Amino acid sequence: MELRVLRYFLVVARVQNISGAAHLLNISQPTLSRQIMELEEDLGVTLFHRGNRKITLTDEGILLRKRADQIVDLVQKTEDEFVASKNSINGTIRIGGGETHAFRALAQTIQSLIAQYPNIHVHLFSGNAEDVAERLDKGLVDFGLIIGTIDASKYDYTRLSVIDKWGVLMPKESPLAALDAVQPEDLWGLPLICPRRVMENGQLSSWLRVDSKRLNVVVVYNLLYNASLLVEAGVGYALAIDNIINTKGDANLCFLPLKPSLESHVYLVWKKHQVFSKASKIFVEKMKDE
């Protein structure tokens, strides 16, 4: 597989039309069709369902698109690092992170970094802890902002001073909204919208003092914004971290803390024995200082 052909494949997958993709790539349609067919022959699979006007990815094509995105990203990251090594302090820092108000501390460090070194650029990737860890392991991001426990055998880290506090996101007209805090028994039997990782590691069932199989979990989410829309629609009550969704002023939702409190530390992590670019090294030192 050639990198050039993978890039051709990604354009075809996005445009879903050979002639349109050929126009964007500034090559002839027969040339592009031949390149895609040769790629399919090399892999021994069919990558596209071909219609009269539109082509769509097969299951194998969907898998290749995911891998091709990662390969192209990694190549670009490597090229950026070599360019940065030849010059003064510049380059690209890639950071993956989940939803947490601790990102404010990271944002302040990024602002300070860019103000001091205007030739440094930052690429952000949003996802849950599993998504971020996968990208860290594959070298697609330099740093990850992870909530909760980390694998110290795989990653070095610095712990942020901010602590995430868990609570329940609910409509303001909910009967529970009159409480000062939510206790486990308040949620028994109610439809719950829960973050996937908290469900998987047993943190929620431990706090609720009940087997997770007996909970009425109607939706499992990985990022909170869409979950908050489900709360607004009356689907259920979302277990969530505070200070992510706006609940001030005219907002339709309110947030109540848990009692007893449930808290998570936030870590900035990177792979053990990682060789930092100049930009990444300055970033992590500044992050530790601030």
Question: pLDDT of 237-254, one tens digit each?
Answer: 999 999 899 898 889 999
| DSSP codes joined into one string, 226-282 | HHHHHHHTTS-EEEEETTSS--STT-SEEEEEBSS--EEEEEEEEETT----HHHHH
| Cα–Cα dist 166/240, whole Å | 6
Over the stretch 147-158, which tens digit does the pLDDT of each residue have? 888 888 999 998
Instruction: Please state the rounded mean pLDDT for residues 259-267.
Output: 90
- Residue 199: the pLDDT is 62
Instruction: Please tell me whether the overall predicted TM-score, pTM, comes out greater than 0.75 for this model.
Output: no
Strand 253-257 relative to strand 155-171: parallel, antiparallel, unpaired? Answer: antiparallel
For the chain, the average pLDDT equals: 87
Higher pLDDT pick, 3 / 233:
233
φ, ψ for residue 121 (rounded to 5)?
Answer: -120, 155
Q: CATH classification of 3-69, choosing from 1.10.150.80, 1.10.8.870, 1.10.10.10, 1.20.140.10?
A: 1.10.10.10
| Cα–Cα dist 218/238, whole Å | 10
| Cα–Cα dist 155/267, whole Å | 10
- Residue 231: the pLDDT is 96
Instruction: Please state the rounded mean pLDDT for residues 243-272.
Output: 91
Over the stretch 67-88, which tens digit does the pLDDT of each residue have? 898 888 888 877 776 765 555 6
- Residue 274: the pLDDT is 84
Please check whether residue 8 is in contact with residue 25, taking contact to mean a CB–CB distance below 8 angstroms.
yes
pLDDT above 60 (res 143): yes
What tokens were used for 32?
A: 């592009």
Instruction: Please state the rounded mean pLDDT for residues 164-190.
Output: 94
Superfamily of domain 164-262: Periplasmic binding protein-like II (3.40.190.10)
Domains 80-162+266-289 and 164-262 fall in the same CATH topology = yes
- Compute the CA torsion angle 269, 273, 276, 281 (nearest 10 deg): 60
Of the candidates 111, 75, 84, the one whose C-alpha atom is nearest the C-alpha of residue 1 is 75
- Looking at the DSSP bridge assignments, the partners of residue 238 are 169, 193
Strand 143-147 relative to strand 91-97: parallel, antiparallel, unpaired? Answer: parallel
Structural domain boundaries in the chain: 3-69, 80-162+266-289, 164-262
| Cα–Cα dist 153/271, whole Å | 9
Instruction: Please state the rounded mean pLDDT for residues 181-187.
Output: 93
- Residue 45: the pLDDT is 92
Over the stretch 194-223, which tens digit does the pLDDT of each residue have? 987 666 666 777 888 877 677 889 999 988
**Is 80-162+266-289 a domain of CATH 3.40.190.10?**
yes
- Residue 85: the pLDDT is 54
